[in-house]
Amino acid sequence: MPKQRIRVLNGHAGSATWIERLREAGYDVDARPIRAPADLTALGRTVPAAVAIDLTRAPARGRDFGLVVRQMKTMRQVPLVFVEESPRQVERLRSLLPNAVCSSGSRIRSAVRRAIARPPRDPVRPPSVLAGYSGTPLPKKLGIRSGSTVRLVGAPRDFDTTLGPLPEAVTLRRRGEGPRDLTIWFIRRLRELEHGIERMAGRVTTDKLWMVWAKQTSPLAADVSERAVRAAGLDHGLVDFKICAVDADWSGLLFSRRKTG
């Protein structure tokens, strides 16, 4: 009898322990990372017995993976198991994906076994990946705090309107090179990323940098991808720690300076 296949999404070094528990239980575990939109599309070609998603790091990205899976016709009946121990995260998740199973890493084997035995009969299909952000003001998602200075680079003209009400005493600046707490850089073409990354990354010290590109589903989409943005940041001494759907057209990765020593 062939092994049941479990597809792991949003895994990281800390996921290794519970992934090994699944393998010891006899499951065929595929934990390859998602690096491009094509990788997500490929999920539905070979339907797994269950999808296990780690939310202990980059929970917004993991949640979005779950929403994407539920939107895929071939994957809609596949059980979702989220590894998350925060009661607040679990509550938020259940409001979006009530048929999903939540578990700690230590109980992953029983959670997966239970999920496969009782697959969702009528799973809720979220209207879009942006459903995960409903009710969350964009400034909060982007980490714009009271009294902060935000530098906008290449932002659409109406981005001030997109942001909506800002926290108290926030300064938005489209020009100038003075101190800032956060930079939001909109990248429309791969050549812009290649030509500008050294300059933009070189300015990051204790502040943060959003690198924003058009989604593949947007009419604004070009040749920039999440994979290219992440690679450029990593190659220039930065590390990404958050992903965000800015709106229906734009996605972003948040970077900080990589710690040394």
Q: Which domain holds residue 167?
A: 138-257
The answer on 154 and 65 residing in a single domain is: no
Q: How far apart are CA 257 and CA 211, in angstroms?
A: 13
Would you place residue 39 in the very low, low, confident or very high pLDDT band (cuts 50, 70, 90)?
confident
- Structural domain count of the chain: 2
Whole-number average pLDDT of the chain: 88
Would you place residue 36 in the very low, low, confident or very high pLDDT band (cuts 50, 70, 90)?
low
Q: Which residue, of 82, 103, 133, is where some domain finishes? A: 133
Which CATH number goes with the domain that contains 14?
3.40.50.2300
* Angle subtended at Cα 31 by Cα 260 and Cα 57, rounded to the nearest 5 degrees: 45
pLDDT over 90 (residue 245): no
Per-residue pLDDT reduced to its tens digit, 7-29: 999 898 899 999 999 999 999 99
Q: How far apart are CA 218 and CA 249, in angstroms?
A: 5
Q: Which residue, of 101, 133, 165, is where some domain finishes? A: 133
CB 120 within 8 A of CB 101: no
Sheet holding 238-245, edge to edge: 171-173, 149-153, 182-187, 208-214, 250-257, 238-245
The answer on 252 and 171 residing in a single domain is: yes
The answer on 103 and 155 residing in a single domain is: no
The answer on 103 and 148 residing in a single domain is: no
Does the global pTM surpass 0.85? no
The answer on 233 and 200 residing in a single domain is: yes
Q: What percent of the chain has pLDDT over 90?
A: 54
Instruction: List residues bridging with 257 in a β-sheet.
Output: 238
Q: Which residue, of 133, 149, 173, is where some domain finishes? A: 133
The answer on 157 and 66 residing in a single domain is: no
The answer on 129 and 12 residing in a single domain is: yes
The answer on 127 and 9 residing in a single domain is: yes
CA neighbor of 101 nearest in space, from 90, 87, 92, 88: 90
The answer on 111 and 27 residing in a single domain is: yes
The answer on 142 and 248 residing in a single domain is: yes
The answer on 74 and 25 residing in a single domain is: yes
pLDDT over 80 (residue 106): yes
Which CATH number goes with the domain that contains 191?
3.40.50.150
Other Cβ atoms less than 10 A from the Cβ of 62: the count is 23
CA neighbor of 102 nearest in space, from 118, 90, 114: 90
